[in-house]
Amino acid sequence: MSFTKVYLQAGRDEAVRRFHPWVFSRAIGRYEGNPQDGDVVEVYDRKGHYLASGHYHDGSIAVRIFSFGATAGGPVTPDVDYWTQKLRHIHSIRQAIVTGNRGAGPTNCYRLVHGEGDGCTGLIIDMYNGVAILQAHSIGMHRERLLITEALKNVFGNELQAVYDKSAETLPDEYGSSVVNGYLYGHTPVPHPVQENGNTFLIDWITGQKTGFFLDQRDNRQLLAQYSRGKKVLNAFCYSGGFSIYAIKAGASLVHSVDVSQKAIALTNQNVAANFGETDKHEAFADDVMHYLKGNGDHQYDVVVLDPPAFAKSLTARHRAVQGYKRLNAEGLRRVAKGGILFTFSCSQVVDRELFYNTIVAAAIEAGRQVRVLHHLSQPADHPVSLFHPEGGYLKGLVLWVE
């Protein structure tokens, strides 16, 4: 099988040689062929030395690499055997860092493939107790979905109950408008129960956000449990109540969950009931978080969690996002009792770790609170960041002791 060849300009191949998975359009000197969006292309330097293979897209990022020549040994054909070998290797890593770690309790939900961090640019696969949720962020990866489904069947065998494609919302608009989410293999009714560190969650990948659950907060939820015993806890932007479940199980005296979405509140209440049945330790509120924080006067919590959705998805929105984070955290700090704890997060990729830290500093000054940093938080090991692609480190958080 022959693929279009992309030749880079002189001096523009160093990023690829350093294993950065993106080739920008301005780095390309010429094409041998006429690639269309989603096509597999081979990347060469100006002298014709093979460097990598990837998916083409007519845009700023012209090639998203999934195989480097230095590691693959030469041009590859992304067939079922290729994807089976790649996914089997990634799965072996996941077994070591997630499913093999039973210290906090059984876990059967995790991220199997994390885009660039696993050498699969444009591809996310989350595993929920035998069900694989595939989410493509590029046309090329979406076109590989049937091969990837066969590869998943080879890797997991009878353990694989179903594969569901949830890519319509994450693909480029024109292409994505014709994509319909649905099962690629098998069928499993939702909500589907999973275990995370011994806690039960009911997952609905069909109507839920992202792939159905925010797996990237698993380790941070476990850390929250260490600070929750006997405490009054506020979980703001609760979605399906992940932090709330951990706090209740750890022995919190009271947990309040807040989200503007009534559907999110219903999910939270379902998950609380699945773990604890009827309990007077939890109450959920469908309310705008800022309205809730401002409307509760001098009400104080021992532990406050602020885990908002991304405030900025582009550089043009960054300034407004920073101001939003500042206002939110200043108000959140006012609701933390003296000697209490604030867990605060940002998943906005364009707000880097230093900017987020400085924003929280500004919020603490505005709130007039003395604050100590106890932990710097990030995404868990099943959301790895390639050493050569630091842009993949999107989740950042702080645990603060508030005087």
Q: From edge to edge, which strands make up the β-sheet containing 162-165?
A: 109-114, 123-128, 131-136, 162-165, 182-186
**Residue written as token pair 């979406």:** 142
Give me the phi and psi of 392, to 5 degrees please: -75, -10
Asked whether the beta carbons of 231 and 201 are under 8 A apart, the reply is no
| Phi and psi at residue 145, to the nearest 5° | -60, -35
> H-type helices in 77-168, by residue range?
80-94, 139-143, 145-156
Q: What is the largest CA-CA distance in the chain?
A: 71
| Cα(218)–Cα(382) distance, integer angstroms | 10
Give the pairing type, strands 123-128 and 109-114: antiparallel
Bond into 191 cis (ω within 30):
yes
Provide the 3-class DSSP secondary structure of residue 341.
strand
Strands 109-114 and 182-186: unpaired
| 355 residue type, one letter | L
Distance separating alpha carbons of residues 6 and 13, to the nearest angstrom: 11
Residues with a known catalytic role: 347
Residue 228: name the closest of 282, 185, 274, 177 by CA. 282
In the block, which residue shows the tokens 């099943």? Answer: 382
Length in residues, the chain: 403
Q: Are 308 and 372 in contact (CB under 8 A)?
A: no
Are 257 and 237 in contact by the 8 Å Cβ rule? The answer is no
Are 42 and 3 spatial neighbours (Cβ–Cβ below 8 Å)?
yes
- Angle, alpha carbons 155-157-161 (nearest 5°): 110
Place of tokens 């330790």: 281
Could you give the C-alpha distances from 368 to 147, 321, 326, 332, in angstroms and in order? 56, 22, 13, 12
